[in-house]
Amino acid sequence: MKRFAIPEQECSIAMTSGVLDMLTVIEHGLVDLCTKWVKREIRQRCSVAGIQYSKAKWRGFWEYFRRTWMEQYDVEVWNVAGLDNELVARTNNPLERFNRELNSRFPSPRPSMATFVGVIKTLSSEYVHRLADVPRGRVRRTTREKIELPVPVEIPEDIADDSDDDEPLAVEVASDSSSDEASPESTETSTCQSL
């Protein structure tokens, strides 16, 4: 959303639970219909909040969404509809922790094959011992917090989508990650940091 200079207030509305995240939990076959519903929901919530909806900027975002998340990647890759809560990936923190642990065990950035195999063998052995401690009662298995996924909404079949009518496509704003300065087009509003 930042690339399209969508104002922060509109981004906050879109990122509210039960709006944009509906696309991740709706049945795969209903994603196109849900996209129309999400567009309408954002427009309506902006109207209720007294915020002017940035139609051209959103049009650019939705074109990006269609191109990237509907055409380049299949819906099954990012939509969790039908998956058990236990199967939904939480974060990549365990992988990052393992990467830090690996890096701390190697004496140099590019270890020899013998060193690499030795470190992996040691880590594997330690992990097996930790797992074996659970049934022996020495350690308790960590209980994971259940993720509260949004409940998919009922989407009317005849939902109209007029957000893309007669507006020129928004131009992506080149972003410089080293600076948070606003572009000349968006000096009066801040932009969203997500998506």
Residue 63: the pLDDT is: 94
Percent of the chain with pLDDT over 90: 30
- Over residues 161-184, the mean pLDDT reads 46
What are 149's two structure tokens? 């996924």
Give the Å distances, CA to CA, from 83 to 1, 25, 38, 76.
Answer: 27, 9, 22, 11
Residue 25 has pLDDT above 60, yes or no: yes
Beta strands in the chain (DSSP E): none
State whether residue 178 is helix, strand or coil.
coil
What are 132's two structure tokens? 């074996």
- The pTM of this model reads 0.55
Task: Please give the residue that has the higher pLDDT: either 137 or 53.
Answer: 53
Encode burial over 169-192: b for 16+ CB neighbours within 10 A, e otherwise: ebeebeeeeeeeeeeeebeebebb
Range of lowest pLDDT (21-25, 59-63, 163-167, 179-183): 179-183
Task: Please give the residue that has the higher pLDDT: either 130 or 118.
Answer: 118
Task: Please give the residue that has the higher pLDDT: either 171 or 78.
Answer: 78
Residue 187 has pLDDT above 80, yes or no: no
Residue 160: the pLDDT is: 65
Rounded distance, CA 35 to CA 22, Å? 9
